[in-house]
Amino acid sequence: MSRLRSLCVFCGSSTGADPAYEQAAITLGQSLAREGITLVFGAGNVGLMGAVATAALNEGGRVVGVIPEHLTRVETPNSNLMELHVVESMHTRKRMMFDRSDAVCILPGGLGTLDETFEFLTWRQLELHHKPVILANIQGYWDPLLTLIDRVIEEDFARATARGLFTVTNDITEVIPIARGELPMNGTHPEGPSTHLF
């Protein structure tokens, strides 16, 4: 089994309506730090982004943030990060987060989180990568998305294999074991050739 060294987390820049969302982010951040897994995230010090990063940092974890310059005035970057990369565009942000991570976890979030999710899933559908993508379905948050994907498949806009592009879990403590279990045997580490899309 390949070693999981870094996990990209996509999530909301707000905490959402249900306290369970923030608790899941905190639990994930703590678990990553305790397991020695680097957190790669959107660098913001707000919402679930801030919660997952602060939890990891408080446990002595390594945290890497990536944020477009234009968002630094809205989502003030966490000042305690080991690495902070300020980039020129949203696309560059997603690309760098992809390159720096072995697997992806998607927590509850808004339109930006959906954008990131679908881009990573599309890349995987096109076989540009084989990194695990885990949907953390906290309190059933992603149920409507799963229903939509089923509808897309039913209406022949995607193959049934689209459901295999990601793994769903309702339990945040399962994220790391799932990511470890799904890592390709040839590795997906940042310095390896399998991280490059083109």
For the chain (198 residues), the mean pLDDT of every run of 10, in chain order, is 89 97 98 98 95 97 95 82 91 95 98 96 95 98 98 97 97 98 68 41
Is 112 inside a domain boundary?
Answer: yes
Q: What is the pLDDT of residue 1?
A: 53
Is 197 inside a domain boundary?
Answer: no
How far apart (Å, rounded) are the C-alpha atoms in residues 147 and 143? 6
Q: How is residue 159 annotated by DSSP?
A: -
How far apart (Å, rounded) are the C-alpha atoms in residues 73 and 196? 30
β-pairing, 167-169 vs 83-87, is unpaired
Q: What is the pLDDT of residue 195?
A: 44
- Look at the chain and report how many structural domains it folds into: 1
Residue 130, CA distances (Å) to 34, 121, 195 in order = 26, 10, 9
CATH code for position 78: 3.40.50.450
Is 1 inside a domain boundary?
Answer: no
Q: By three-state DSSP, how is residue 87 classified?
A: strand
Is 15 inside a domain boundary?
Answer: yes
Is 146 inside a domain boundary?
Answer: yes
Contact yes or no for 22/16 (Cβ under 8 A): yes
**Structural domain harbouring 69:** 6-187
